[in-house]
Amino acid sequence: MKIISKFKDNYDFMVSKYGLDETLVYDRRNSAPVSADELWSLSEADKPFLENAGSRYKVRVGKDGKLSTDFYAGEGLPRLLHSVIFIGKNLVHIFAAEGKIYTDFDLAENEREKMYFNGDILTFKDGFRAYIASRFESDILRFAALRASDPAALSSADRASEKENLSAPIVFFKRTQTTDFVAINPQLRAMGLYLDADFVWQSLVEFLSAKKDAEAPVGAVPNEIKIASKGFDAKRSFRPKMK
């Protein structure tokens, strides 16, 4: 893979391992800047939502044998703002509190899921526990399905903006009550995301390869094959006449 960019990122050095492939080009010059602060920043309107998002109901059985629900607000655990990033076709969940950034790769092994819901308590490998404060709905799931499907689906998106997001090798989404933020090809280092470099590089190569194959003209025949099929010798038949 060849990278065209105005910045360096924490997976760029993998070119020394896999080599430079000029036919696969990742052009990051249209990168939208995203800082680590963006992962946990909230508007004033969103702050009450964050505080209440971890609240849950606990079911208990009373002395009379009847079920009742007691409201409790997370037992003082911190809240995590949930966002997502697509690395190629692979979806990575991001959980951020001020000063802390985790992904689903950092979760305890028994807590890795495909989706995470508002109010869920998460436990990470370092023992940190917190509540999720947001949930991604069906439109994000649809986006994930389109990226994971046949590359031809990249051209079938309904809106021009979605087509751009679908074709970008890296796409970041943040959603709150008042925010719907999308950034294409952000610098992972600036976001404070230090994902496995092999995982990122291979995910990008897989995505770009599939996109390249999908965009290749159907039935295109190289000139060398056309010349040979007509019985000509490419070395002799097309040699210019010398005076």
- 21-25, 163-167, 174-178, 185-189, range with the lowest pLDDT: 163-167
Give the pLDDT score at 227: 55
- 200: three-class secondary structure by DSSP: helix
- Tell me whether residue 40 is exposed, middle or buried, using C-beta atoms within 10 angstroms of its C-beta: 0 to 12, 13 to 18, 19 or more: buried
Calpha distance 183→84 (Å, rounded): 11
In this predicted structure, the answer to whether residue 179 has a pLDDT above a threshold of 60 is: yes
Residue 98 confidence class, pLDDT cut points 50, 70, 90: confident
In this predicted structure, the answer to whether residue 216 has a pLDDT above a threshold of 50 is: yes
In this predicted structure, the answer to whether residue 65 has a pLDDT above a threshold of 80 is: no
pTM of the shown model: 0.74
